[in-house]
Structure 1
Amino acid sequence: MRDPGTLQEFLDRAWVDPAVFSLRPDYCVVLLAVDGLVPGPSVQASETLLQAAEASTRKALDGRAVEDLPHIAAWREAYKLFGAKPQRTRNSLEALLRRADANLPRVNRLTDIYNAVSVLHQIPLGGEDLTGYTGAPRLVRAAGTEPFDTVTGGVGVVEHPESGEVVWCDDDGVTCRRWNWRQGRRTQLREDTTTALFILDSLQPMSDEALNAAADDLAGRLDRLGPDVRTARRRIAAPPSIQEGN
């Protein structure tokens, strides 16, 4: 088990490339590193939470298209800035919202919680097994040579991002492509995950208060997944010089 100091040290080494902030000076991320999680299958509490998330989606979409929701629209514009086509490459939040009317996936209680929080707060939210990391997480514009371990057609393959694509990565390669589109296999949450990293991505018009509320909600729910859960948090935003130049 990692102690809280070690978790915080891990987060303190995380960084965002200034080239990413140049694309969107309003970008802000909250990272949560959590240890002591007790793995388990979906339970009634996670089922109830997913049902609440599905109901919130129906209310939010009453007479509206998914792409017209403010945070979805903001992320679609951000994707266009590095050449992605949002109609074909949907961020994780949009993908979940489009499934919520039928049914959100039921995976295990850890994944169920973070998917539900993503939908309830309308924020892209990634969850990864922290033990799969080599070095610190960073959000950069890819060179195009970084390896990305994924699955295509049911077969494991190593792909590479496009040059200039916004990606999360560590020392061993890409952990998530196109900002918050698709996570790799190496760091994906597993049935036996006890130590995890959660990434909460925001753009305007989401406020700092709304971002912090989403992080608080997630942290509070994760704290119930074991008697010894420990959490560290870090917020990263553009420096004032970049924000003022926007």
Structure 2
Amino acid sequence: MPRPGHDLDAVLAAAHVEADVAALRPDYRVLLLAVDGITPGPGDDLSEALLQRAEASAREAHATTPVDQLPHVAAWREAYRAFGAKPQRTRNSLEALTRRAPDGLPRVNRLTDVYNAVSVLHQVPLGGEDLDRYAGPPRLVRATGQEPFDTTAGGEPVVEHPDPGEVVWRDDLGVTCRRWNWRQTPRTALREDTTTALFVLDALAPMTDDALAAAADELVGHLVRLGPDVRVARRLLGTG
């Protein structure tokens, strides 16, 4: 498992998007960022300002367009339907955050706050994983239905399984995120002591590669201030 000083490029080189996923949505792209050297810390004035900017952006968007009609949200709703999920019941992470933002985004810690704000500002589903708790390379697959998904119910740990054909991120131990970008396992979630992370930026048309890169660039710009020795590697998959 990765540790500070790990070869981040090697981590990303092993990442994989299964052909069955690409066939489902040929317009799908994912930009992966592997980051180490992060100094954990609580929210600060800069992360608070970023959250407030994201909240204001969402309020402006809500004023003119229903959330489910925002272009990238609508594209992800269509993608969910393509593998049998009901988007009105299991909202992708972008839609969930965008709906919440006008009334206030969560304040967790500066790492989580930064990536949540960038997700809303750039209208892109954006996940964060603790690479020190990852086992093997990240890959995006259509589930068989047998893969374990470690989660909680009623405050107790339980093991669930994805639906057959569901699009999931997984590692060697099981599912790390269900329904493409819906719900993450606590096993690999970012924590107060996270120093090495993987960020997953998901894109469908009409989002362009340039817009996806701009979201990643802003995220990196905020991440590099989270420690004196932060290193970042990136890889774009799914362009053919």
Query: TM-score, structure 1 length as denominator?
Result: 0.95
For 1:34, give the aligned amino acid.
Answer: V
Confirm or deny that 1:189 pairs with 2:190: yes
- Distance, in Å, in 2 between the alignment partners of 1:156 and 1:38 is 29
Q: Does 1:11 align with 2:12?
A: yes
- SS of 2:100's equivalent? helix
Give unpaired runs (5+ residues) of structure 2.
none
1:119-172 superposed Cα distances (whole Å, 9 cap, x missing partner): 000000000100111110000000101000111222211100000000000110
Aligned residue number for residue 213 of structure 1: 214
Provide Cα deviations, 1:164-213, integer angstroms capped at 9, x if missing partner. 00000011000000000000011000100000000000000000000000
Query: Is the contact between residue 143 and residue 164 of structure 1 (CA under 8 Å) also seen in structure 2?
Result: yes
CA distance in 2, matches of 1:9, 1:145: 28
In structure 1, what is the Cα distance between the partners aligned to 2:38 and 2:239?
Answer: 31
* 1:26 aligned onto 2:18: no
2:79 matched to which residue of 1?
78
Q: What SS does structure 1 have at the residue aligned with 2:188? A: coil
For residues 7-156 of structure 1, what are the structure 2 equivalents within 5 Å? 7-156=8-157
Could you tell me whether the CA contact under 8 Å between 2:4 and 2:195 is conserved in 1?
Answer: no
Alignment correspondent of 2:231: 230
* Identity over aligned pairs, percent: 68
User: Take 1:206 and 1:238, find their aligned partners in 2: how far apart are those partners?
Assistant: 13
Distance 1:125 1:118 in 2: 6
SS state at 1:217 partner: helix
Structure 1 counterpart of 2:4:
2
Cα root mean square deviation, aligned: 0.9
Match of 1:164 in 2: 165
Counterparts of 1:12 and 1:75, CA distance in 2? 26
Q: TM-score, normalised by structure 2?
A: 0.97
Q: How many residues align?
A: 238
Q: List per-residue Cα deviations over 1:6-55 (Å, max 9, x = no partner).
A: 11001000000000011100000000000000000111111111000000
Structure 1 unpaired stretches of 5+: 240-246
